[in-house]
Structure 1
Amino acid sequence: MDDIRAMATTLFAVIEASGEVTWHQGAIVNREGRKSEADILLLGPFTALYKLGEEIGFLNYTAKSDTYYALSHLPKQQMRKTIKHYMAGEGDTVTMDISRGAALRQLTHELSLLDQIPKGGPIIWPILIIFAIGILIIFERLFFLFRIRCNGNDLVKRIEDSAIADTWKNAITFIKKMRKKPMARVLEAGLLSHQEARENLENSLQEAILKEIPPMERFLSTLGMLAAIAPLLGLLGTVTGMIETFHIITLYGTGDPRLMSGGISEALVTTMLGLSVAIPLMLAQTLLNRSVDRHIGELEEKAVTLVNIIQKYRNTQ
């Protein structure tokens, strides 16, 4: 009965301690393995947090040495933000570990994408090269499309004003000042042929538009090809990883799963990386194609508008 009473007393003490929150300064072993003075926050009997300068994280407690150890991995940013607000008295919620360290150990063993990439074997390097080339193409295309933007409505309005005043030379001079823009070059081709018949005028404009299309579509097919190759390389890494796994099973059997983990990790990481590269590249190619189609459609629209303006005011003058 004495043992039962002692056990009940201990359980009640644990229940009471689970609602206690204490704050004090003490020594901890930081993530570099050195002892440091830090602010320690104890939440119940299982959870310990620390604040060391701007660093906030969880602590493990070792009863044998009576020492707090900072976890090697910091919590996620949102979790750190919640803990920081709680420590500053600005929040009433905080993350706790009620699993007596199991959840904290899981946090320690979590791997980020950068940690997983080296486990993918040699196939990851071609995939990363494809990603780097794709990113360069995307930024180059974005810069190009941003540079060629112009207000086609203003250009057409200026041309129409010149047509009303029968000053075609002024319109041509104005357009030539903006020859760096595809829209201006197309309209210039039409103005230079404003005395031609409608059919010849339309042919000149169509020829000018066709000259502008290749620079706009440059590298987009290459981007689509890279997006298609990346998952195929990931699949190749999957196959090579599984071949290595089966080779290890042939030599050592299935008694130790750790022997097979390397091949399985290579198989899964390359597939994940290939898809992670292909998806944004495909999305970027689709958006860039739509932007180019919009620019080409605007060129064709303004070309038709210019033909109508020339025909209207040429016949009335």
Structure 2
Amino acid sequence: MFELIQAGGWLMVPIIGSSILALAIITERFITLRYSRVVPRGLLAQVWELVRSGEMTPERMRIIKQESPLGLIVVAGLNSSSHGREVMKESIQEAATVVVHELERFLNSLGTIAAITPLLGLLGTVIGMIKVFTEIMIQGTGNANVLAGGISEALITTAAGLSVAIPTLVLHRYFQRKVDTLVLTMEQESIKLVEIVHGERDVDFR
């Protein structure tokens, strides 16, 4: 493996670095964007039961806020519920903006890695071919080993760049779609909370 990396030339260093960074981001996002962590099942029912029974203390609200992104949005809405429906909705939207920003954290970096690694591979291809033609100009076509070395460097960097870019691009799209789904779910839960608090719908958490 080391010989293969060495044969690819110095451009293998940023390609490998990009793959390590991509793997770290992917692992972190898989952990962070778990559905159970972002939108805990039964949270809205639990919160409403505490509100209805008068047991919703500032300490409980602080805990709910810290436990999940949906909890942060719900608490923001409850804190302003006494000021009317529109103010409550605005508070929820402001909290949701912060939550969405956190959910999309590192996704731009992942997209950038998916975009630049094939270009690094292409640059390696160009450099390798330049070496090949330079050697042809100097030595002619008689030295097959030198020509093979330049072509090998070109192909290795291209393959390495694509090997990093393809799975990174697929997972970048996957995480974007997952964030969209989570945001939609939180939006539906928030609307439900607003309508229940202001008596615009029956209590139904199914």
- TM bucket by the smaller chain? 0.7 to 0.9
Give the unaligned 5+ runs of structure 2: 202-206
Moved more, 216-225 or 254-263: 254-263
The structure whose residues are more often helix, as a share, is: 2
Give how far 1:114 is off: 5.7
What CA deviation, in whole Å up to 9, does each residue of 1:99-143 have, x standing for no partner? xxxxxxxxxxxxxx6653321111111111111111111112222
Give how far 1:174 is off: 4.0
The question of 1:158 aligning with 2:46 is answered: yes
Q: How many residues are paired up?
A: 199
The question of 1:187 aligning with 2:71 is answered: no
Distance 1:301 1:172 in 2: 25
Q: How does 1:194-273 map to 2 (within 5 A)?
A: 194-273=81-160
Q: How does 1:55-94 map to 2 (within 5 A)?
A: none
**Contact persistence 1:198–1:307 (CA under 8 A):** yes
Moved more, 222-231 or 248-257: 248-257
Moved more, 166-175 or 183-192: 166-175
Q: Secondary structure at the match of 2:65?
A: coil
Q: Which residue of 2 aligns with 1:109?
A: none
Larger Rg: 1
Q: Which residue of 2 aligns with 1:177?
A: 63
The question of 1:124 aligning with 2:1 is answered: no
Give how far 1:213 is off: 1.3
Distance 2:57 2:46 in 1: 7
Q: Secondary structure at the match of 2:83?
A: coil
Amino acid of the structure 2 residue aligned with 1:201: M
Q: Which residue of 2 aligns with 1:295?
A: 182
What CA deviation, in whole Å up to 9, does each residue of 1:32-58 have, x standing for no partner? xxxxxxxxxxxxxxxxxxxxxxxxxxx
The question of 1:139 aligning with 2:37 is answered: no
Question: TM-score, normalised on structure 2?
Answer: 0.87
Give how far 1:182 is off: 0.9
Which one has more relative contact order, counting CA pairs under 8 Å at least 6 apart?
2
Give how far 1:256 is off: 3.3
Distance 2:28 2:40 in 1: 22
**Contact persistence 2:39–2:182 (CA under 8 A):** no
What CA deviation, in whole Å up to 9, does each residue of 1:176-217 have, x standing for no partner? 322221111111111112222211111111111111111111
Q: Which residue of 2 aligns with 1:284?
A: 171
**Contact persistence 1:158–1:171 (CA under 8 A):** no
**Contact persistence 2:81–2:87 (CA under 8 A):** no
Distance 1:300 1:134 in 2: 30
**Contact persistence 1:223–1:285 (CA under 8 A):** yes
Closer, same or farther: CA 131–142 of 1 in aligned 2, 3 Å:
same
Give the unaligned 5+ runs of structure 1: 1-112
**Contact persistence 1:224–1:282 (CA under 8 A):** yes
Q: Percent identity?
A: 36
Distance 1:201 1:207 in 2: 10
Amino acid of the structure 1 residue aligned with 2:37: I
The structure whose residues are more often strand, as a share, is: 1
Give how far 1:161 is off: 3.5
Distance 1:190 1:168 in 2: 17
Distance 2:56 2:161 in 1: 56
Closer, same or farther: CA 301–172 of 1 in aligned 2, 3 Å:
farther
Question: TM-score, normalised on structure 1?
Answer: 0.58
